[in-house]
Structure 1
């Protein structure tokens, strides 16, 4: 805790002052162009990863970067997405998974969650991911099966996004784009889902405006 308190003092004296004008503007309104949905994992920092400034990203984080399907109980995730898309008018939504994801490990091994019933219940929003991995990747060794789950889950959650009315309407209008990313913690690399190759490719090779809408339906069964 003392480290965090020292960090606040350092932020106020060293970081805030050069950006004082920006923060004054942000105090009046925010207009982020991107909704960044990722895992709660402490090893991921969306702003550091994208070199973005305060006000650039509207960030939604939870265990497993999960988006509940439309029609269920109203959740904080759905409310956040609705606000970002309907009120703030973001132009892009990124769903970003990551390597070594504990949520995906738990999804593949629900028996490990007997003491975490709330986590187990939450991960049922990714039940489709588990079924896809079981049906198509069951022959793989454990480490590769986890990678498959991480990537497939990003695509499944993109599909879930498309079921939300506010997202579906903007996609129909053509002024909202969906993107699937996977962050590799150990190397700092980011891979984006590419519709043309139906695979995750290094972000440098992926068109910045590549639209991942409908990715799950067109995805191959292999990664």
Structure 2
């Protein structure tokens, strides 16, 4: 698939939506969920969820990393989460990781082989860490632990903690298996480690 294909599709795209639907979208958005996923080109949130335009508010970062809460920092990721939760009042947040994730591989190896990528090393927080050898190239187990860590970081955002306590928001962890197309869900019980089929 080439860039020219993208151009052709972009030219045709308006015709796939009805005029009424375009007017409805122009009037505002009320997404059903905030989807925090990896920037990986193989992971397409709307393809995984079947979401139509206007239904999924997306935040894609290297390794679906959620930054620690620091309201005075200039973080587009934090601003996106804040806007989705406080302004759009999304009722659900999905953190979706995946197999064969380059960022999780880099985390596991503590950045070895990323010497030419200083911004990514800093984003992942691997400087000064000691990595381990990869046992499984799909880094599935590591990715699942990483999803759980991002969910815990979200729980530490005060406005998320408040909406969770009021029962107005739910958090979900999903693991997308690239080679099978299957999605698995993170257990809600912190004492259970096995992800189950969605």
Once the 2 structures are TM-superposed, how far is the Cα of residue 26 of structure 1 from its aligned partner? 1.3
The aligned runs of 1:186-205 (5 Å cut-off) are: 186-196=179-189, 197-203=192-198
Q: Distance between the aligned counterparts of 1:139 and 1:43, measured in 2?
A: 24
Which residue number in structure 2 is paired with residue 85 of structure 1? 85
The answer for unaligned runs of 5 or more in structure 1 is: 204-223
Q: Distance between the aligned counterparts of 2:92 and 2:68, measured in 1?
A: 19
1:10 and 2:12 matched: yes
The TM-score with structure 2 as length reference comes to: 0.89
Once the 2 structures are TM-superposed, how far is the Cα of residue 195 of structure 1 from its aligned partner? 2.8
Which residue number in structure 2 is paired with residue 165 of structure 1? 158
Which residue number in structure 2 is paired with residue 58 of structure 1? 57
How many residues are matched? 191
Once the 2 structures are TM-superposed, how far is the Cα of residue 198 of structure 1 from its aligned partner? 3.5
Q: RMSD of the TM alignment (CA)?
A: 2.1
Q: Distance between the aligned counterparts of 2:36 and 2:9, measured in 1?
A: 26
Q: Distance between the aligned counterparts of 1:33 and 1:12, measured in 2?
A: 23
The answer for unaligned runs of 5 or more in structure 2 is: none
Which residue of 170, 173, 187 corresponds with 1:177?
170
Which residue number in structure 2 is paired with residue 68 of structure 1? 67
Tell me if structure 2 keeps the 8 A contact 1:33–1:89: no
